[in-house]
């Protein structure tokens, strides 16, 4: 039987992860939670004052892998160059859970925060504009406003299109400008702390990053508003501010949930870019500048990064908790019934060699990391198949092996110790196939948006689209990307009317045209008028 402690940890962590994703995507939750924490934006006329910064300090009680992970992520980062410091100034200190607030500020090196632009969420905006409305009517208006935000991130719009959303953007102008400036900071480090006792990296607090996908929607929305108004430079500033935030988050917090948020942020901005590329308002100058900035920006890190750093730290920390907590260790060996549990009561658990357990856990994690890092599709598929077979074999034998290990612990301490490391690693293994698909989708979004812009520039400068994507290199793109899902050329054609169609297959790696479920990405670019 799989250890109860790990089951509880994994289930709790996955619940937390799903809850955090709901926070990032669900308008109502963001409205309710965010609006109670963020104060209205101030005037954009004056430059915001700066916080008082001191030498960052990690609390003494933070030990082991928890401390090592924070030290690694914050190494050589000056608070004045840390994007997270500016984000705390934007959100206010209430962004941290109350019990973690003091230590979080100390780990960031923040001694005090001045009054500065704070983000105003739709709920606060509606409450201020319509003070006499009934509470339920205010909630409905706020939700409707948030839905307009989603729509405005997928089309060109003006103040006349969505007047109330335009007012919200105006109210948040200073806060969004502050966010754009913050995105230029070279580093991102936010403290990883846990409210649990004992603390668990699995449930580390990531309160700052919860808000970032929602703010990215505002950047995408404002970029399309500005683009429609001919303010191409500011529109590009908003787009690349969001992309820099996604990149900083993904590199600065190597937890899988952080990577998911970074990819969602990236998706909002690339969707907006695709809308621009399909618009008659596109200019060659804008396209050239976008391609220049895009080439200067690195790609989001792949899943092997979080597996090697964040998830390895989680694995090691969970192992250390087993070592220090006899109760959890007994639960680890939980057997099907009381009679069989008698074997455990006699087992010399104090003889477990934890160095060997750690060595085996690391060896298992090394395999996961190596498989995720492999970029050749066929080679990676074989590695995934091997990992799947090993996991199935482990899962089928875990109950029997638990009893055998408990009964033979005294006879073969080494084998039992290694089994503990293997079992913990298998219980916490990454979902590697889904991770590769997420990596590919992130790369596809960037490639497709870049190709769409390059094709638009080509048409505007040469009068028609190229016969093939190869015609974009080297004048527009240094190298023409392939479909990241298949490694084969992307779909491309120019119709008789001069319309260009760009197609990237989805994770199923097949053409879904005409099927009820279609996960392909298709961008249709207009012919020259």
Give 316-346 pLDDT, tens digit per residue: 999 998 888 776 776 776 644 555 555 555 5
CA distance 232 to 156: 13
d(CA 182, CA 245): 9
274-298 pLDDT, tens digit each: 999 999 999 999 999 999 999 999 9
Whether the per-residue pLDDT at 464 is higher than 90: the answer is yes
Q: Which of 19-33, 127-141, 189-203, 470-484 has the least mean pLDDT?
A: 19-33
Q: Which residues contact 197 (CB under 8 A, 6 or more apart)?
A: none
Percent of the chain with pLDDT over 90: 69
Average pLDDT (466-493) is: 94
> Is the Cα torsion angle 158, 163, 169, 171 positive or negative in sign?
positive
Nearest-5° Cα angle at 149, 146 to 150 = 100
Is residue 9's pLDDT more than 70?
Answer: no
Residue 3: per-residue pLDDT: 42
**Token reading at 95:** 């962004």
Checking if the pLDDT of 513 tops 60, the result is yes
Q: How many Å separate Cα 497 from the centre of its chain?
A: 40
Judge contact between 171 and 125, C-beta under 8 A: yes
* Distance, CA of 326 to CA of 335 (rounded, Å): 16
- Report pLDDT for 481: 95
The kind and range of the H/E element at 52 are strand 52-53
What are 245-278's pLDDT values in tens digits?
999 999 999 899 999 999 999 999 999 999 999 9
Residue 398 in tokens:
């875990």
User: What's the pTM?
Assistant: 0.86
**Amino acid 480: pLDDT:** 96
Q: Which residue has the higher pLDDT, 23 or 307?
A: 307
Tens of pLDDT along 122-170?
999 999 999 999 999 999 999 999 999 999 999 999 999 999 999 999 9
How much is the pLDDT for 33? 33
Structure confidence at residue 343 (pLDDT):
55
Contact 330/323 with Cβ under 8 angstroms?
no
pLDDT digits (tens, 9 = 90+) for 221-252: 999 999 999 999 999 999 999 999 999 999 99
CA distances from 299 to 184, 294, 358, 456 (A): 16, 10, 33, 22
Both tokens assigned to 29: 């939750």
């Amino acid at each position: 039987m799989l250890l109860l402690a790990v089951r509880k940890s994994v289930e709790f962590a996955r619940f937390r992860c799903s809850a955090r994703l709901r926070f990032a995507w669900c308008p109502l939750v963001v409205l309710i939670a965010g609006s109670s924490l963020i104060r209205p934006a101030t005037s954009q006329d004056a430059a915001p004052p700066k916080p008082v910064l001191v030498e960052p300090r990690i609390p003494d009680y933070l030990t082991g892998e928890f401390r090592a992970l924070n030290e690694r992520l914050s190494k050589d980062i000056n608070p004045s160059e840390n994007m997270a410091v500016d984000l705390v100034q934007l959100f206010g200190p209430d962004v941290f859970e109350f019990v973690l607030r003091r230590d979080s500020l100390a780990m960031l090196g923040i001694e005090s925060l001045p009054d500065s632009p704070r983000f105003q969420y739709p709920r606060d905006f509606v409450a201020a504009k319509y003070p006499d409305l009934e509470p339920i009517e205010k909630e409905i208006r706020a939700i409707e406003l948030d839905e307009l935000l989603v729509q405005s991130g997928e089309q060109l719009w003006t103040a006349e299109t969505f007047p109330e959303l335009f007012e919200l953007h105006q109210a948040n102008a200073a806060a969004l400008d502050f966010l754009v400036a913050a995105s230029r900071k070279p580093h991102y480090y936010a403290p990883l702390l846990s409210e649990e006792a004992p603390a668990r990296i699995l449930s580390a607090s990531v309160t700052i990053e919860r808000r970032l996908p929602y703010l990215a929607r505002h950047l995408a929305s404002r970029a399309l508003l500005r683009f429609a108004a001919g303010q191409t430079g500011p529109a590009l500033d908003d787009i690349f501010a969001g992309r820099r935030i996604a990149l900083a988050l993904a590199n600065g917090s190597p937890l899988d949930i952080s990577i998911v948020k970074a990819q969602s942020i990236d998706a909002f901005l690339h969707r907006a870019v695709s809308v621009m590329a399909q618009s008659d308002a596109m200019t060659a100058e804008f396209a050239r500048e976008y391609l220049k900035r895009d080439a200067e920006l690195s790609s989001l890190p792949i899943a092997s990064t979080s597996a090697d750093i964040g998830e390895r730290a989680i694995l090691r920390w969970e192992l250390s908790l087993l070592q220090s907590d006899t109760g959890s260790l007994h639960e680890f060996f939980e057997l099907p019934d009381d009679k069989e549990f008698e074997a455990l009561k006699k087992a010399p658990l104090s003889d477990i060699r934890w160095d060997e357990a750690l060595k085996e856990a690391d060896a298992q994690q090394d395999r996961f990391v190596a498989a995720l890092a492999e970029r050749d599709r066929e080679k990676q598929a074989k590695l995934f198949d091997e990992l799947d077979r090993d996991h199935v074999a482990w899962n089928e034998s875990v109950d029997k092996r638990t009893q055998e290990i408990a009964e033979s612990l005294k006879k073969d301490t080494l084998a039992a110790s290694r089994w503990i490391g293997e079992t913990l690693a298998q219980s916490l293994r990454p979902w590697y196939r889904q991770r590769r698909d997420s990596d590919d989708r992130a790369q596809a979004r960037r490639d497709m948006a870049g190709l769409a812009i390059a094709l638009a520039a080509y048409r505007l400068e040469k009068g028609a689209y190229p016969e093939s994507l190869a015609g974009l290199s080297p004048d527009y793109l240094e190298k023409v990307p392939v479909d990241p899902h298949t490694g084969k050329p992307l779909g491309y054609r120019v119709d008789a009317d001069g319309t260009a169609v760009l197609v990237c297959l989805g994770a199923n790696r097949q053409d879904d045209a005409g099927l009820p479920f279609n996960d392909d990405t298709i961008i249709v670019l207009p012919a020259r008028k």
